Amino acid sequence: MYKLNIKPKSKIIDTTPSLYGLFFEDINRAGDGGLYAELLRNRAFDDGIIPEGCSYDKNNKLITSPTGWTSSFDCFEEEGIAAWTCINGAKAERIKNDTLNVNRKRALQLQLNGGAILNDGFKGVPVKEGESYKFFMFAKSNSLVKVSVMLTSSDGKKIYTKQDLEISGDYKKYECQLLSSATDFDGRLAIYSESSEKIILGFTSLFPAETFMGRENGLRKELAQRLLDLKPAFLRFPGGCIVEGFSKETAYRFKDSIGPVWERKPHWLLWSYMTTNGLGFHEYLQFCEDANIDAMYVFNCGMTCQGRCPDYFDENLIEEFFQDAVDAIEYATAPADSFWGKKRAENGHPEPFTVLKYLEIGNENWGDEYFKRYEKFYTRLKKLYPDFIYISTDHSERVGLKTEFVDEHFYSDPIFFAANTKLYDDLDPSGINIYCGEYASTIGCKEGTLYGALGEAAFLTGIERNQNKVRMTSYAPLFKNVDYVSWEPDMIIFNNHENYVIPSYYMLKMFAENRGEYVCECNVITDSDRRLESGHFTDEQGNIFEGQCFTKVYENAANLHIKFWDRGTLGEDQNHYDLIIENGNSKIVHFNGWSQEVICKEKSYNLPSGKIKVEIQAKEDWFKICINEKEIYNHTLGSIPHISAVSTVDTKTNELITKIVNFSENKIDLNLETDVLIEQEAQLTVLSGSSYSEKNTFEKPENVKSVNQKLMIGKDNTISILPRSVNVLRQKM
Ligand code: AHR
């Protein structure tokens, strides 16, 4: 039996307008070739340069940072020029001298000899019949060389358009507009010449003529629109781990990301590829302005990623990063006649940007090293710029530091989210504010399943109930180019010409579109909730045992470590309950993604000597562990709500809005009990599917999506909630 007891007149808290935002990081090639509309890959020829300070292991195609962290590196420059191919006798060489400017470390020397060089973009240069593309390049030549710039088929044989340019003398910018006569998503940009004279390219670029809001150096329209459709309140940028960097040399510096794109330093991202920084600080602010949302700038506070052999910067370098943060703020906000304001004006925005509202000190940094840096940055910045809202990435208030917001991140399985709808219920509203800056159901949901969305939706009902404390949230990550994957799941999936969104996107859209002005009392009344855990057992050798019972005999074992309800992927995701007996102590720990929760507290326990028979029974919400027939644990886990719900009131339309998540596999008849009269006709938006693993694909992009329907609620005030569903019910009062 499930009942929702709703009191629309009993206001609990106001809703918080900033609750739903966006977090953009250049991961999975979300930037160049993604949201940033550039169509050429390796446009500045710097892909494959080993990042400064790192060493390269040719055999394993790995780079190692100065502190010892390794990462794949599959495009070493000696193995070819990434994305560029010569045809019909053309020759190309990457050169280190004679580059366009100090920030360009390579140039491309060509002898085309009646042939051409092709750029294959991000798995093809996508061109459409009747559409225009803007090309430019910086080139030089000691002779006068006639070249043709073309859009072609992948082998260069079919020419869709052609423009002639004459290159001579020192580096100059050459540009042309290309109108394609055909549609080909695996097209190429080709540069052709009859001549055998040398030419040197310093930088190249190809953009669709149409970008989001028609901006130069702009964004891919349909991807930007996906973001707007989520009705976000803010954008957090530019990361994420890329802010921290793989090494101090690869930490994010705002200064490298502004000015003419061909003068910007490239940036090797710790997601294993190079970006030309074309999508930089200015472009992020411009997007926020165009989208009419607030900007949240995350900057490095003097350390690299703590999960990747951290480098803690010395005082001088910390100071350099402090100055970089100050300069970024000045760039955004200072008048046009100031040093940084002038630069902003030169870049096309004389008026200060008014969108910058939040400053986040570091990303996912923690502990003493962080607190030292947080204090240094916070106190000085707050004095200089008191009006911004500052965000800490750890609970700095717990060590006595002034804290406005704490950014908490959750990557886990759907059960974790569904089980934690009350996570913030007991938080003191007069204390710090929470920003749930990154969250996603990751375990078992890599492709973005309905199951993932259900868990997240249940969690968000808890957050909505506590939105006076958790005042901002953002799902992470936003984008994935399917051809370059470094992290899954991601909310918007694209290739070079199409995109689709995962169920979490539809769920978030439903939540963000149905806000209301205040949260009212809404209680789920039931005694039917259960917890359904299942999975295999894994012993210390990695052997897997299926079923609900595990029995194994050990001989003189000193320690034991056995996993049950194990459903993680070995070496990658973790989701298991572990019996750990070591050094005379025993405990049960739940490892769930990045979180670890001790389920049964550590107690003193010595393994018997000789033969040890271990038996574990694990069923749904209960487990029992016996050693040599003696019970050492017998434990029942708390239930997981099958129905999670929250109600708000839209005072403008006089509607009661109720978000109801059915996390279970059963249809649930839900009795609605309200203390005011409600119209029987309601508007229902539902997201559901026939199994937890339902997902969207390029072939079936709308397999799981939200649908709107009218609903007549019967006299018994009971509605049928579909299994595995997220529902938004709007009822006139
Ligand atoms: O969202 C992907 C990564 O997860 C982010 O870069 C980082 O902040 C977190 O570790």
Q: Domain with 102 in it: what CATH number?
A: 2.60.120.260
Q: Is residue 202 part of a domain?
A: yes
Q: How far is the CA of 412 from the centre of ligand 1 (A)?
A: 13
For residue range 143-166, list pLDDT tens digits in order. Answer: 999 999 999 999 999 999 999 999
Using only C-alpha atoms, the chain has a radius of gyration, in whole angstroms, of 28
> What's the rounded Cα separation, in Å, for the pair 208 and 222?
12
Task: Report yes or no on 59 lying in a domain.
Answer: no
| 25 CB near ligand 1 (under 6 Å) | yes
* pLDDT tens digit sequence for 248-279: 999 999 999 999 999 999 999 999 999 999 99
Same domain (yes/no): 327, 184:
no
Closest C-alpha among 694, 691, 705, 677 to residue 7: 677
Q: Which of 707, 723, 721, 724 is nearest to 658 (CA)?
A: 721
Cα separations (Å) of 557 from 537, 560, 605? 18, 7, 13
Minimum-distance ligand 1 atom for the alpha carbon of 307:
10
Q: Final residue of a domain: which of 183, 210, 237?
A: 210
Distance CA 725, CA 547 (A): 29
241 lines ligand 1 (CB under 6 A): yes
Same domain flag for 199 and 264? no
Asked if 236 and 298 touch (Cβ cutoff 8 Å), the reply is yes
pLDDT tier, 577 (very low <50, low <70, confident <90, very high otherwise): very high
Ligand 1 center to residue 441 CA distance, Å? 13
pLDDT digits (tens, 9 = 90+) for 45-57: 999 999 999 999 9
Q: Which of 517, 545, 574 is the last residue before a domain boundary?
A: 517
Position 534 scores a pLDDT of 86
Q: Identify whether 374 is part of a domain.
A: yes
In a domain, residue 281? The reply is yes
- Rounded distance from Cα 268 to ligand 1 centre (Å): 16
Tokens in use for 71? 């990462």
Same domain, 684 and 603: no
- Judgement on whether residues 7 and 20 belong to the same structural domain of the protein: no
Q: Does residue 413 have its Cβ closer than 6 Å to ligand 1?
A: no
pLDDT tens digit sequence for 595-653: 788 999 999 999 999 999 999 999 989 999 999 999 999 999 988 999 999 999 999 99
Q: How confident is the model at residue 569 (pLDDT cuts 50, 70, 90)?
A: low
Give the residue whose CA is nearest to atom 3 of ligand 1.
240
571 pLDDT above the threshold of 70 = no
Q: Ligand 1 centre from 242 Cα, in Å?
A: 8
Continuous segment of H or E residues that includes residue 511 = helix 503-513
Q: Is 93 helix (H, G, I), strand (E, B) or coil?
A: strand
**Residues carrying an active site annotation:** 364
Number of domains in the chain: 4
Name which residue sits closest to atom 5 of ligand 1, judged by CA: 240
Do 662 and 561 fall within a single domain?
no
Range of the domain at 612: 536-637
> How far is 452 from 439, CA to CA, in rounded Å?
11
Ligand 1 in reach of 28 Cβ (< 6 A): no
* Rounded Cα distance, 200 and 109, in Å: 4
**What 3-state class would DSSP assign to 591?**
strand
- Which domain CATH number covers 566? 2.60.120.200
pLDDT in tens, 334-346: 999 999 999 999 9
Burial 630-658 (b: 16+ CB within 10 A, else e): eebbeeebeebbbbbbbbbbbeeeebbbb
The ligand 1 atom at the shortest distance from the C-alpha of residue 364 is 8
| pLDDT tier, 574 (very low <50, low <70, confident <90, very high otherwise) | confident
Distance of CA 468 to the CA centre of its chain: 25
CA distance 174 to 259: 19
The residue whose CB lies within 8 Å of the most ligand 1 atoms, and thus the one to mutate among 241, 488, 573, is: 241
Residue closest via CA to ligand 1's atom 7 equals: 240
Measured in angstroms, how far is the CA atom of residue 439 from the centroid of ligand 1? 9
Residue among 370, 409, 436 to mutate when testing ligand 1 (max atoms within 8 A of CB): 409
Report the C-alpha gap between 684 and 35 in whole angstroms: 33
Closest-CA residue, ligand 1 atom 8, reads 240
The ligand 1 atom at the shortest distance from the C-alpha of residue 411 is: 4
Which of 23, 24, 27 is the pocket-test mutation for ligand 1 (most atoms within 8 Å of CB)? Answer: 27
Residue 254: DSSP 8-state:
G
* Protein residue with its CA nearest to atom 2 in ligand 1: 477
* Structure-block tokens of residue 487: 């992290």
Give the atom of ligand 1 at the shortest distance from the alpha carbon of 437: 8
Distance 530 CA to ligand 1 centre (A): 32
Determine the pLDDT at residue 220: 98
| pLDDT score, position 597 | 84
Q: Grade residue 572 by pLDDT with cuts at 50, 70 and 90.
A: low
The CB of 238 under 6 Å from ligand 1? The reply is: no
Residues linked to residue 161 through DSSP beta bridges, in sequence order: 151
Among the atoms of ligand 1, which is closest to the Cα of residue 477?
1
How many angstroms is it from 457 CA to the middle of ligand 1?
20
Question: Based on the domain organization, do 255 and 330 belong to the same domain?
Answer: yes
Distance CA 437, CA 470 (A): 10
Among the atoms of ligand 1, which is closest to the Cα of residue 271? 6
Assign 570 a pLDDT band (cuts: 50, 70, 90): low
Cβ(437) – ligand 1 distance below 6 Å: no
Residue 66 lies in a domain: no
pLDDT tens digits, 64-82: 999 999 999 988 898 999 9
Regarding whether 671 and 618 lie in a shared domain, the answer is no
- CATH number assigned to the domain comprising residue 350: 3.20.20.80
Compute the distance between CA of residue 464 and CA of residue 459 in angstroms, rounded to an integer: 9
Asked whether residue 294 falls in the same domain as residue 410, the answer is yes
Percentage of residues of the chain with pLDDT beyond 70: 99
487 touches ligand 1 (CB under 6 Å): yes
Query: How would DSSP label each residue in 535-564?
Result: -EEE-TT--EE-SSEEEEEEES-S-EEEEE
Query: Residue 125, class by beta-carbon neighbours within 10 Å (0-12 exposed, 13-18 middle, 19+ buried)?
Result: buried
- Rounded to an integer, the average pLDDT of 468-485 is 97
Query: Across the strands, what pairs with 1?
Result: none
Q: Write down which residue in 485, 517, 549 finishes a domain.
A: 517
Q: Indicate whether residue 240 lines ligand 1 (CB < 6 A).
A: yes
> What does the pLDDT read at residue 533?
85
Question: Is the Cβ atom of 442 under 6 angstroms away from ligand 1?
Answer: no
Nearest-atom number in ligand 1 for the CA of 239 is 6
Give yes or no for residue 364 CB within 6 A of ligand 1.
yes
Both 499 and 588 in one domain: the answer is no
Please work out whether the CB of residue 477 comes within 6 Å of at least one atom of ligand 1: yes
334 and 429 assigned to the same domain: yes
**241 CA → ligand 1 middle, Å:** 5
Which phi and psi angles does 36 have, rounded to 5°? -80, 120
Residue 147 belongs to some domain of the structure: yes
Ligand 1 pocket residue status of 244, Cβ below 6 Å: no
CA 496–ligand 1 middle distance (angstroms): 24
HEC letters along 125-192: EEECCCCEEEEEEEEEEEEEEEEEEEEECCCCCCEEEEEEEEEEEEEEEEEEEEECCCCEEEEEEEEE
Mean pLDDT on 386-392: 98
Residues 606 and 659 in one domain: no
- Residue 658: which CATH number? 2.60.40.1180
User: Using the 8-state DSSP alphabet, how is residue 678 labeled?
Assistant: -
- Residues 184, 244: one domain? no
Whole-number Å distance between alpha carbons of 544 and 536: 7
Q: Indicate whether 35 belongs to any domain.
A: no
Residue 31's nearest CA partner among 355, 358, 281 is: 281
Q: Is 625 in the pocket of ligand 1 (CB under 6 A)?
A: no
User: Which protein residue has the closest C-alpha to ligand 1 atom 9?
Assistant: 240
pLDDT (average), residues 366-387: 98
Rounded to the nearest angstrom, the distance between the alpha carbon of 558 and the centre of ligand 1 is: 38
**Is 40 part of a structural domain of the chain?**
no
Q: How many angstroms separate the Cα of 728 from the Cα of each of 308, 328, 344?
A: 41, 41, 44
pTM, full prediction: 0.94
Measure 77 CA to ligand 1 centroid, in angstroms.
Answer: 28
- Tell me if residue 72 falls in helix, strand or coil: strand
